[in-house]
Amino acid sequence: MKKRIVIGQAGGPTAVINASLASLTEALAPKHDVTFVLNGYEGLAEGNFLEGNANLLERIQMYKNVPGACLGSGRFMSSMEVIEKMCWQLKYIQADALIMIGGNGTMQALHLIEKELANIGADLQLIGIPKTVDNDLGGTDHSPGFGSAARYVAHTVADSSRDLMAMNNFEQVRILETMGRNSGWLAGASGFFKEYEEEGPHFIGLPETSNTHEQLFQSVEASLKSHGQALLVVSEGMFWKDSLNAEHKNGRAVLGGVSAQIKSSLEEYFKISARAEVLGMNQRSSSLYVSESDKQEAIEIGVKAAHLINENVSGQMVCIERISNLPYHVKINTTSFKNVIKEGERALPEKFINDRKRYYEWLRPLIGDTLSYPPPLRKEDNIYASSIDRPK
Ligand SMILES: Nc1ncnc2c1ncn2[C@@H]1O[C@H](COP(=O)(O)OP(=O)(O)OP(=O)(O)O)[C@@H](O)[C@H]1O
Ligand SMILES: O=P(O)(O)OC[C@H]1O[C@](O)(CO)[C@@H](O)[C@@H]1O
Ligand SMILES: [Mg+2]
């Protein structure tokens, strides 16, 4: 049966969200009428639709390797009244299905829409496609977008660490702040390439752990003593003195800025020079750092969602089930919205917090490659300098 399928993207973009959209529409279009929603849930509430004609469908394929969400995404306060509006818009255009590509917030909204559609007597298939760089979405081993963002963070921290080592008469402490909201998956990934003790991160601050204040100071002290420098990675959601004063926008706390607060505290206490840097939007948008497995999974997930439409499935999010780590093998599966929502903001589990090596083994197939730098030059490596007479 030919169906009218409405497709949208919501929440923060990723480097591979358009790959899911492209594979989904490619698989759906020959058989169904595809309608796109502009600007996520805001567009849905306003009835901001685009008819998926041949020209538009061809254009969507051109964004397959382009970061950002090509339909427009965004964050938008959706009260129950607004959810109702979305449902009436869907009923009005006689949609048979709604597919939203997004993170945990997007899935919560889908679940509310599902209930409201039942209230107004509209029978639609609802399907969620996962994406988030934060990896805080439940019901799936990991989400498309995370692998590429983790790759970005791991490479950037390894590189920045070599830069800091070169500058320690000028700058002794560098604090790099990652995304992740209240989950430490991304910050935790920052030590993936660390091989030598001089290399950072010398401390990773996670939102999941408390009492990090003292540990952070101890790590800086030890690293300054041994290496003359310290590189710290902190998650934007890590607790610090001012965390409770976060401003709110569109119903959620605006995070960010903890690295600057830590910089001030360390400069004052250690009388050193520190620099705070927020790794920023490149984490979720860098096309240079896209991981192959991440892109491949984003594509497969789009195709799976199209199959679910043909099989009349509803109330489900496509998910990734890891069958084995070595060799890496996954199954693209489904899980109910209820199951996803039950997990809330999925935290980095304790087994990974307490055993970082274990986390990196889990992460390796998602990051997809290895980076191996030679050991940093050390004074004791220099046989020549220690054997010559020095000027008096
Ligand atoms: N509890 C909720 N009730 C109703 N609508 C919600 C809810 N949470 C989120 N939404 C809607 O879903 C949109 C996307 O959610 P959110 O901004 O949390 O991003 P996300 O999907 O979690 O992705 P990411 O966190 O990776 O950026 C919101 O802007 C809002 O319109
Ligand atoms: O300022 P914005 O658009 O809310 O984006 C920042 C947030 O988006 C995310 O990247 C998720 O997409 C979070 O890690 C981060 O807090
Ligand atoms: Mg989210």
The tens digit of pLDDT for each residue in 99-138 reads 999 999 999 999 999 999 999 999 999 999 999 999 999 9
Cα-flanking dihedrals φ and ψ of residue 317, to 5°? -105, 140
- pLDDT reading at 326 higher than 80: yes
User: Which token pair is 244?
Assistant: 């409770």
Confidence at residue 385, expressed as pLDDT on a 0 to 100 scale:
62
**59-81 b/e with 16+ CB inside 10 Å = b?**
ebeebbebbbbbbbbbbbebeee
Neighbours of 155 (CB within 10 A): 19
CA distances from 189 to 135, 144, 158, 160, 382 (A): 11, 15, 11, 15, 34
134 is catalytic: yes
- pLDDT reading at 43 higher than 90: yes
Q: Report the topology of domain 4-145+289-343.
A: Rossmann fold (3.40.50)
C-beta of residue 265 within 8 angstroms of C-beta of residue 272: no
132 CA from centroid of ligand 3 (Å): 7
Confidence at residue 386, expressed as pLDDT on a 0 to 100 scale:
59
102 CA from centroid of ligand 3 (Å): 8
Sign of the Cα torsion 92, 47, 134, 245 reads: negative
Q: Within the chain, which residue ranges are assigned CATH 3.40.50.450?
A: 4-145+289-343
Average the pLDDT over 349-359 and give the result.
98
Q: Within the chain, which residue ranges are assigned CATH 3.40.50.460?
A: 152-288+349-367
Confidence at residue 288, expressed as pLDDT on a 0 to 100 scale:
97
Confidence at residue 317, expressed as pLDDT on a 0 to 100 scale:
98
Q: Which ligand is nearest to the CA of 255?
A: 2
108, 126, 183, 343, best to mutate for ligand 1 pocket (most atoms within 8 Å of CB):
108
User: Which token pair is 259?
Assistant: 């690295």
**Angle, CA 150 vertex, CA 147 and CA 156 arms, to 5°:** 140
How buried is residue 302: exposed, middle or buried, by Cβ count under 10 Å (0-12/13-18/19+)? buried
Sign of the Cα torsion 259, 15, 317, 98 reads: positive
**Angle, CA 59 vertex, CA 54 and CA 61 arms, to 5°:** 100
Region 152-288+349-367: CATH code: 3.40.50.460
341 lines ligand 1 (CB under 6 A): no
Whole-prediction pTM value? 0.96
13 CA from centroid of ligand 2 (Å): 9
Least confident among 57-71, 223-237, 254-268: 254-268
Smallest CA separation from ligand 2 atom 11, residue = 12
**Rounded to an integer, what distance in angstroms lies between the CA atom of residue 298 and that of residue 101?**
11
- pLDDT reading at 17 higher than 80: yes
Q: Which atom of ligand 2 is nearest to the CA of 134?
A: 14
180 CA from centroid of ligand 1 (Å): 14
Confidence at residue 245, expressed as pLDDT on a 0 to 100 scale:
65
Smallest CA separation from ligand 1 atom 29, residue = 75
Smallest CA separation from ligand 2 atom 2, residue = 12
Confidence at residue 211, expressed as pLDDT on a 0 to 100 scale:
72
Catalytic residue, candidates 33, 123, 134, 242 = 134
ipTM exceeding 0.90? yes
- pLDDT reading at 148 higher than 70: yes
Strand partners, 252: 249
Average the pLDDT over 53-65 and give the result.
98
Confidence at residue 364, expressed as pLDDT on a 0 to 100 scale:
98
Confidence at residue 378, expressed as pLDDT on a 0 to 100 scale:
85
Sign of the Cα torsion 279, 282, 287, 290 reads: positive
How confident is residue 388, by pLDDT bands cut at 50, 70 and 90? low
Nearest in space to 29 (alpha carbons), one of 9, 54, 1: 54
Q: What percent of the chain has pLDDT over 70?
A: 96
User: Which token pair is 41?
Assistant: 């849930």
Sign of the Cα torsion 169, 170, 173, 178 reads: negative
**Rounded to an integer, what distance in angstroms lies between the CA atom of residue 253 and that of residue 241?**
16
Confidence at residue 243, expressed as pLDDT on a 0 to 100 scale:
62
Average the pLDDT over 319-328 and give the result.
97
237 CA from centroid of ligand 2 (Å): 11
**Rounded to an integer, what distance in angstroms lies between the CA atom of residue 9 and that of residue 191?**
31
**Rounded to an integer, what distance in angstroms lies between the CA atom of residue 257 and that of residue 179?**
11
Predicted confidence (pLDDT) per residue in 175-213, tens digit:
999 999 999 999 999 999 999 999 999 999 999 998 789
Nearest in space to 181 (alpha carbons), one of 226, 228, 136: 136
185 lines ligand 1 (CB under 6 A): no
Q: Which ligand is nearest to the CA of 40?
A: 1
Least confident among 163-167, 173-177, 240-244, 251-255: 240-244
